[in-house]
Amino acid sequence: MLLGRWVQKHFSRLFWLLAVVAVVVVVQIILGSSSMPRQHILAEMGYDFTVMTADIDEKAIRKDKPEELVTALAEAKADAILSSLQNVDSFVEDVHTTLLITADTVVVHEGRIREKPSSKDEARNFIEGYSGGRAEVVGSVLVTNLKTGRREAGWERAEVYFYDIPAEVVQSLIDEGITLNVAGGLMLEHPLTSPIIKEVIGTADTIMGLPKSLTERLIQEALTRPSSEACRNPA
């Protein structure tokens, strides 16, 4: 009788723990991104994963709204990776369940969407434009369950306020060339960038390309929601 009452009282917690164990045992994760910050964030979340990259022409995909653009790009990356996987049916069957995580990030400055700079001159223009002002970062995450075909997507925003940026800092960032590999030329975790950031409203992981809370929620939804309930609305 006492055991029965204990089980009733703690049933939900036991169920959650069993679900977590099940996910760890049978789910394989593919991160569809070569971004080191995204890989670092997903590893921080406690997941083991493999990495695949998508070969797409991002400039060929255009949307007026930043949240629509990053969602469309994440979907295009997922489609490209799926098409590159050979023998998907047998692959999925072997690992029980596989989740593919893709993401995209843009920066919005003075109403204009900024993706990765196409040249050093454009990167310089981006960085100098942030001096003493603000920028908004919009990032999407898409989780695709390869076994069921379910897709769960969402996006988040963060705001970054800057101090005046010295010319020598701009030049050093340009010389390194790393600004060409990130949306808007903005790399929050770079040691030269940190001192010029006055305030961040939102989460650092959103700016770095993979919002933790959103990603975790979408993983769980992709594993548990029926296909008819798949949600693509923003978080």
Asked if 104 is an active-site residue, the reply is yes
Q: Alpha-carbon distance 224 to 155, whole Å?
A: 20
CB 192 within 8 A of CB 174: no
From 104, 164, 175, 205, active-site residue: 104
Q: Are strands 50-51 and 97-109 parallel, antiparallel or unpaired?
A: unpaired
The residue written with tokens 């981006």 in the block is 126
* Nearest CA-CA partner of 185 in 125, 99, 112, 104: 125
Contact in structure between 173 and 133 (CB atoms under 8 Å): no
Q: DSSP code of 164?
A: P
Q: How far apart are CA 46 and CA 223, in angstroms?
A: 17
Residue 134 and residue 157 in contact, taking contact as beta carbons nearer than 8 Å: no
Token code pair at residue 222: 């992709």
Give me the active site residues, please. 104
